[in-house]
């Protein structure tokens, strides 16, 4: 690691909010993309349980497993050198009891080398957040649309519309901040509400589909690269068209093999 490479920590993120510097976060699930994302200078690499839908073809994140998250977390760790590596705790790995949460989050930290974990939920999980923070495990929170509660929420819908729901989001955010989260993801939250939450708490907010007033933004890497072509939510901006590029490359390779053009002399060994 170069001597001038400054690691991103919980303190780095806190200072970025104070200074007004925007935080950049992306997902990665393996060493290859972990290294590419890290090398491009992002601040947080999130090993999201979205791996279950994006790479494994499952309909939701609900059947992601702890072993699966540890596997992908360890793989991403091999490529990430500067950014803060945060790993999602999968469904039912922290909701049953505080002791379960400690044991499972401890495994994630110990077996992957991550610098933090992420939990979904509001005030109900605050005691778990506090217990994890008390034993030295940094916790990122997640409010708004929480994919592990997709069925209870009736699908991927904007959360916090209406005065009552908005107040609940703000109170949940304050409760999580008091419990010790180092950052808070706001997913599918109306822009004015995300601005209020960002002002109401000290930890930085990381938005996804929650407007420009959050302290940072996160996207799922295959989505923003254009690899997941069937996923077209309003908030997603594609910064690449890698799906089409890959399709064209594969088609060219296939044609050259069938035509006997590959491998040619330049790609073979004479002796």
DSSP at 203: S
DSSP H helices, the chain, are 10-19, 31-39, 51-54, 66-77, 98-112, 126-134, 163-179, 191-200, 221-224, 242-258
Q: Are 102 and 57 in contact (CB under 8 A)?
A: no
Report d(CA 82, CA 80) in Å as an integer: 6
| Rounded distance between C-alpha atoms, residue 226 and residue 89, angstroms | 26
**Annotated catalytic residue 111:** no
Q: Give the sign of the dihedral formed by CA 134, CA 140, CA 114, CA 80.
A: negative
Residue 142, helix vs strand vs coil: strand
The span from the CA of 111 to the CA of 46, in Å, is 16
- 122 Cα distance to chain centroid: 18
Given 187, 199, 229, 271, the catalytic residue? 187
User: Looking at the annotation, which residues are catalytic?
Assistant: 187
């Amino acid at each position: 690691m170069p001597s001038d490479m400054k690691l991103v920590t919980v303190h780095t993120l806190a200072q970025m909010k104070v200074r007004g510097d925007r935080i950049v976060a992306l997902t990665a699930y393996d060493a290859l993309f972990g290294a590419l994302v890290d090398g491009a200078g992002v601040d947080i690499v999130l090993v999201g349980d979205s791996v279950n839908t994006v790479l494994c073809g499952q309909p939701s994140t609900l059947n992601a497993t702890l072993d699966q998250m540890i596997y992908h977390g360890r793989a991403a760790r091999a490529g990430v050198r500067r950014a803060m590596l945060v790993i999602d705790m999968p469904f039912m790995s922290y909701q049953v009891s505080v002791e379960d949460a400690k044991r499972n989050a401890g495994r994630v930290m110990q077996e992957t080398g991550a610098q933090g974990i992420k939990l979904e939920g509001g005030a109900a999980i605050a005691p778990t957040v506090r217990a994890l923070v008390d034993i030295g495990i940094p916790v990122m929170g997640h409010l708004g649309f929480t994919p592990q509660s997709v069925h209870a929420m009736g699908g991927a819908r904007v959360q916090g519309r209406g005065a009552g729901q908005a107040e609940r989001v703000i109170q949940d955010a304050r409760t999580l901040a008091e419990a010790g989260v180092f950052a808070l993801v706001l997913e599918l939250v109306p822009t004015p509400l995300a601005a209020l939450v960002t002002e109401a708490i000290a930890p930085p907010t990381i938005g996804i589909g929650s407007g420009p007033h959050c302290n940072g933004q996160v996207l799922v890497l295959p989505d923003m690269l254009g690899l997941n072509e069937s996923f077209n939510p309003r908030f997603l901006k594609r910064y690449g068209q890698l799906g089409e590029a890959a399709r064209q490359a594969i088609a060219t390779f296939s044609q050259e093999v069938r035509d006997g053009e590959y491998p040619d002399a330049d790609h073979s060994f004479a002796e």
